[in-house]
Structure 1
Amino acid sequence: MPQLSRRAFASGLPLGLIGGSLLGSGLIGGGPASALAATQETAAAASAVPVSVTPLAQIRIGRFTVTALTDGYADMPYTFFPGRSAAEVEQAATAQFTARPSGVRIVFNQYLVEDGGRRILIDAGPAGSIGQTGALPQAFNALGLQRDQIDAVIVTHMHQDHMGGLIADGRNNYPKAELFIDRRDVKHWTDPAKRAGAPDYLQTSFRMAGEVVRLYPRLQAIDGEREIVPGISIVDLTGHTPGHIGVRIEDGGQSLIMVSDMLFPVVHPGATDVFFVFEQDQAAARAMRERFFPRAASEGALIAATHMPFPGLGRIVDDRGHMRWQVADWAYQG
């Protein structure tokens, strides 16, 4: 378990919901390689579908305002969750109202953290490379922001759905931002030997990683847990990828932990022996979840997760020995 103090697990203030939810269709299902290929081939058309509602949600953590945004959504085939049969995953998704004909409906949440002086974005979304995505610029417009007003971007890991927005259209889309990525992920995803031996459905992530390194000369490959600015620090959540990290936001006795892909809807946190097809080291991913889930439950940690239903905020609850996701309370703010 990463070194998370009891203070770091303190709860935050009620969430203020500003927007609604995205509507539309998703992907074509299939095996990992064929399904993702179909996803990527149709991504450009999917991202062109107009999104009628831009969901935004805000929460205060001490002096910080954290805004939940989304780049869109995709339907992940039921075969994408090793550790359970497709039929079992579909049954669970049906019970949770996230089942679609082509798979589990998941979203891609990003989080903007502001303290009145700096704007820090956590992850940049897939930007049209998967499913019906590419809506993050629209969310910025709803806030009256441009991407060149972002001071820093923290990338929790170098999968395409977390960094695609950095390099969409072959450009540096956050020209004034420092970029923070764990050194282990940079090393892994820019290694030619690892790319040569990787399956087809990971090739886009390898290609994007090379583009990120080329287009972002201010990239900082960081080592381990460290503070980015006062109150915003890196949490080591290695497992999903070699350098998978979370972000802790803490001030005034309150905190929020953004845990990225530690949690996937339908299968987590109820089980630690269910994975996602993109995870290369299932043993490491399981070990991290087995350490993190009970500790988070015992401390009542307020958590933000990339793929949990928007806005992705909740807590892990130990319900008589069974871990479950409890959506965080929220209230309209006047």
Structure 2
Amino acid sequence: MSPLSRRAFASGLPLGLLGGGALGGGFIGSGLAPILGATPGLAATPAAPASVTPLAQIRIGRFTVTALTDGFADMPYTFFPGRTPAEVEQAAVVQHTARPSGVRFLFNQYLVEDGARRILIDAGPAGSIGQTGALPQALGALGLQRDQIDAVIVTHMHQDHMGGLIVGGQKTFPKAELYVDRRDVKHWTDPAKANGAPDYLQTSFRMADQLVRLYPKLQAIDGEREIARGVSIVDLTGHTPGHIGVRIEDGGQSLIMVSDMLFPVVHPAATDVVFLFEQDRPAAQAMRDRFFPLAASEGALIAATHMPFPGLGRIVSDRGQLRWQVADWALQD
């Protein structure tokens, strides 16, 4: 099946809002210690107790999808090749995501439940970037511990998506099956790739080695496949060699979690603007050039890791210009 299958793009039915609603500017992570070193310019800072644990739920057929967050970091305005720092900052001011040190990025995760299995999509940076480490607290607000998660899908092997799986050098989701695209496993565990990579990617390489060691039953998956009935992998390669999305579909409703296909401020309007961490920038742009117009034409309901919490919205065409529209899901029946 094509990664841009039209059946991926049905709208979801809203369920409602839990525990604190939107993430306020005062939210701080739960204070887990940094792991494996921090990215230059994105050093972890001491965390105070969280003032709110944001949770948001939406129903997709038989599934309940809960948006969680591990916290936030401010990405320097220099991290967006294709635009000057001043241009990025100006756009961030307009969108209310500007902070003194950069663009406010959230780290959203999504818990998918159908009464039989609990599947988590990504695990956050867990203190290795910015003010993060709140995912265990967010799960706790649902009455869950990490050993109650049946599976974790890692959309790609950047530190902000897998750090929560290996906090303190420990296997933190002990009973979970782990799914990662084979191309990413190959890339991020290749010593030659690590030796030639810039400093800001070294933490991801170290984490990838640790992840493979701690989760020996990790399933390195090839291409699109169903993880569970109604939960399937979508190929969105470009951001990393094995960057994937996850489609949740049931009862004529669907939601597609697109991970790092979308970044605040620059997307979806400017597909020529990439992000510093992208290894294959032409491939990332080409995927966005294909994906964004189709998502707009189909009214796809999308979940995105770094968009303002809960990261749910749609790409819409407004007088020929693509823009992000926050989903009107929160308080509807």
Same fold? TM cut 0.5: yes
Write the distance in 1 (CA, Å) between the matches of 2:128 and 2:15: 30
C-alpha deviation, 1:82, in angstroms: 0.4
Q: Which amino acid aligns with 1:246?
A: G
Normalised to the residue count of structure 1, the TM-score between the two structures is 0.94
Aligned partner of residue 279 in structure 1, secondary structure: coil
| Residue number in structure 2 paired with 1:272 | 271
Q: Deviations over 1:132-158 (max 9, x none)?
A: 000000001100000000000000000
Q: Is contact 2:181-2:244 (8 Å) kept?
A: yes
Answer yes or no: is the 8 Å Cα contact 2:260–2:305 preserved in 1: yes
Alignment correspondent of 2:75: 76
Query: Deviation string for 1:74-117 (max 9, x for gaps)?
Result: 00000000000000000000000110000000100000000000
Q: Which residue of 2 aligns with 1:228?
A: 227
Q: Deviations over 1:293-330 (max 9, x none)?
A: 00000000000000000000000001121000010012
Match in the other structure for 2:25: 23
Higher normalized helix content (fraction of residues): 1
Q: Please give the secondary structure, in 1, of the residue aligned with 2:266.
A: coil
Give the secondary structure class of the aligned counterpart of 1:37: coil
Aligned amino acid, residue 165 of structure 2: L
The residue number in structure 1 matching 2:315 is: 316
Q: What residue in structure 1 maps to residue 12 of structure 2?
A: 12
CA–CA distance in 2 between the matches of 1:288 and 1:219?
A: 27
Amino acid of the residue matched to residue 177 of structure 2?
A: E
Instruction: Determine whether 1:36 maps to 2:39.
Output: yes
Conserved 8 A contact 2:42-2:74: no
C-alpha displacement of 1:196? 0.3
Matches within 5 A, 1:73-222: 73-222=72-221
Matched residue count: 322
Is the contact made by 1:111 and 1:122 (CA closer than 8 Å) also made in structure 2?
yes
Contact between 1:183 and 1:243, CA under 8 Å: does it hold in 2? yes
Q: TM-score, normalised by structure 2?
A: 0.94
3-state DSSP of counterpart to 1:10:
coil
- What percent identity do the matched residue pairs reach? 82
Gaps of 5+ in 1: 27-34
Q: Secondary structure at the match of 1:14?
A: strand
The separation in 1 between residues aligned to 2:242 and 2:192, in whole angstroms, is 18
Asked if the contact 1:23–1:51 (Cα under 8 Å) also holds between the matched residues in 2, the reply is no
1:51 is displaced (CA, Å) by: 1.1
AA in 1 matched with 2:58: I
- 2:250 maps to a residue whose letter is D
Cα deviation digits, residues 240-278 of structure 1 (max 9, x gap): 000000000000000000000000000000110001000
RMSD: 1.6
Relative distance call for 1:58 and 1:111 in structure 2 (3 A) is: same
Deviation at 1:25, TM superposition (A): 8.4
What is the aligned partner in structure 1 of residue 51 from structure 2?
52
Determine helix, strand or coil for the equivalent of 2:297: helix
CA contact (8 A) 1:10 1:301 kept: yes
| 1:110 match: secondary structure | strand
Give the distance between the partners of 2:170 and 2:253, measured in 1 at CA: 37
Shift of 1:36: 3.0
- Residues of 2 paired with 1:218 and 1:110: CA distance? 22
* Partner-residue secondary structure (3-state), 2:13: coil
* Alpha-carbon distance in 1 for matches of 2:154, 2:124: 10
Task: Output aligned runs, 1:317-332, within 5 Å.
Answer: 317-332=316-331
Aligned 8 A contact 2:262 2:268 in 1: yes
Q: Is 1:78–1:86's contact at 8 Å kept on the other side of the alignment?
A: yes
In 1: Cα distance, 2:179 partner to 2:6 partner: 26
Whichever residue aligns with residue 192 of structure 1, its letter is P
Contact 2:271 2:289 in 1 (8 A): yes
Deviations 1:182-206 (A, max 9, x none): 0000000000000000000000000
User: Counterpart amino acid of 1:132?
Assistant: Q
CA distance in 1, matches of 2:49, 2:3: 43
> Deviation of residue 23 (structure 1)?
3.2
Judged with a 3 Å threshold, the aligned counterparts in structure 2 of structure 1 residues 95 and 70 are, in CA distance, closer, same or farther, namely same
Quote the Cα distance in structure 2 between the aligned partners of 1:11 and 1:234: 18
Cα deviation, residue 5, structure 1: 3.2
Kept in 2: contact 1:181–1:221 (CA 8 A):
yes
Whole-Å Cα distance in 1 between the matches of residues 105 and 15 of structure 2?
21
Deviations 1:115-140 (A, max 9, x none): 00000000000000000000000001
